[in-house]
């Protein structure tokens, strides 16, 4: 797997684990998602655009978060 794909796969898996918890993240990432047009882990791994789409879906699924915390858990977004 090329390094850029591996990085996207790791990034989206980490984010899903943080938002959904381990078991739910594994199910979410590996289950065909009709709204996304595929398995989220595959979509996120394939391209930056795919990763962005999966991030949006994870944000939608996220429980209410503090207004000062971004999806990566850092107040500054970085």
Per-residue pLDDT reduced to its tens digit, 13-55: 999 999 999 999 999 999 999 999 999 999 999 999 999 999 9
**Per the structure block, which two tokens stand in for 58?**
């994870």
Alpha-carbon gap, residue 10 to 18, rounded angstroms: 12
Burial classification of residue 63, based on how many CB atoms lie within 10 Å of its CB (0-12 exposed, 13-18 middle, 19 or more buried) = exposed
| Model confidence band, residue 62 (pLDDT cutoffs 50, 70, 90) | confident
DSSP helix, strand, coil percent of the chain (3-state; round to 5): 60, 5, 35
Q: What is the pTM of this model?
A: 0.77
């Amino acid at each position: 797997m090329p390094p850029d794909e591996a990085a996207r796969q790791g990034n989206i898996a980490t984010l899903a684990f943080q938002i959904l918890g381990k078991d739910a993240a594994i199910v979410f990432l590996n289950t065909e998602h009709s709204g996304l047009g595929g398995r989220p882990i595959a979509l996120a791994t394939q391209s930056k655009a795919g990763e962005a789409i999966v991030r949006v879906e994870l944000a939608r699924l996220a429980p209410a978060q503090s207004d000062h915390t971004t999806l990566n858990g850092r107040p500054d977004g970085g």
